[in-house]
Amino acid sequence: MSLPKDVLQVFENYITCEYASFTASGQPITVPVTPYIGANGTLDTSTGLVYPAKAERARKNPHVALLFSDPTGSGLSDPPVVLVQGKAAVRDADLQANTDRYLRASQGKLPALMAGFPKWLVRMQAWYWVRIWLEVTPARVLWWDHGDTDAPPNEWIAPEGMIYPPSDAPPKGTKPPAWREPPSDWRPSAAYAVQSLGLPVVTVNNGNTPAAVRAKAITLAQDGFILTLPKCPPALMQGSACLTFHKHPERFTTMKNMMFVGDLHGDGVGAHFKVERRIADWSAGGGTGNRLAGMISFLRTGIQLTPRLKQEVARRDQPMPKIRI
């Protein structure tokens, strides 16, 4: 890709971005992930083998997006906001190579996340380290200089004939059910998100392409949220939508996130997001600034998810990956 240096620096240095994909019904689901630059010009991220929903959505519908809108922890000053729309290829044909790569990549980009864990304990958490990779080949890149989404974005379009590699073949058998259920009442979570988690990212389905942008302001409403949107969003921000809150410290040790799905309607920059439900999420490290509490939360999650690992490896007819650190 022929992109400005400041855009490439965003890809290299951001420790989180917002990854958007579609359910079978076309509902956008956007979650915070850690981005990495792939070997062949792709932008890559991963998901745990024991919670493969992000990958399975992309395997069925490869149209995805990555929004780089939170520079926290990147070390960059005055970066652009960048939206990458493209097609994802799911990689789970070699789980050992995936695991090795994730261990290397995590130690390089998120060293504080592993700090304090002895190697023997890290090796016991295979449920977390065994990974599915998603490799996103960009089809369109928009970027707003200086992060000013009230000004028109710049645009890069992939050349004609761009090759979008297919995903690996899906595993045999039945995929695992959701491993945690969302709260039945979304309202207490919504109040906490507005007060504590900063401005959310809004994602809509723009003709089978995710369009995402960070809101400029938000307040609670009886049935959802009232939003102020940028003057120059990537698309008409209307219809079935996802609202994603997330927050992490400069030194990435924990993350707290909350996602809501519903319908977005508005006129210009003003918009009303009517919540249908909150979706299940997992906040890394327990989503707390208390390192010990976060570690305990992580280990408890491992107890719950470890039994899934053997099942998911077996579905792919592969040996159990080794945690080689």
User: Which CATH number is 303's domain given?
Assistant: 2.30.110.10
On the question of pLDDT at 84 being above 60, the answer is yes
Asked if the structure places residue 43 within a domain, the reply is yes
Q: Which of 258, 269, 139 is nearest to 213 (CA)?
A: 269
Instruction: Give the Cβ contact number of residue 116 at 10 Å.
Output: 11
Beta bridge partners of 322: none
pLDDT score of 1 more than 60? yes
Structural domain for 52, as ranges: 5-315
- pTM score: 0.95
pLDDT of residue 183: 84
Rounded to the nearest 5°, which phi and psi values hold at 85? -110, 130
pLDDT score at 42: 98
- Is residue 289's pLDDT more than 60? no
Does 185 fall in a domain? yes
The total number of structural domains in the chain stands at 1
Query: Is residue 286 assigned to a domain?
Result: yes
Question: Is residue 322 in some structural domain?
Answer: no
Give the chain's mean pLDDT. 93
- Annotate 117-135 with b (16+ C-beta within 10 A) or e (fewer): beeeeeeebbbbbbbbbbb
Kindly tell me if the per-residue pLDDT of 216 is higher than 80. yes
> Quick one: pLDDT at residue 284?
62
Average pLDDT value for residue range 79-89:
99
Q: What is the pLDDT of residues 140-184, one digit of tens each?
A: 999 999 999 999 999 999 999 999 999 999 999 988 888 888 888
Does residue 321 fall inside a structural domain? no
Q: Is the pLDDT of residue 294 over 80?
A: no
pLDDT-based confidence at 185, cuts 50/70/90?
A: very high
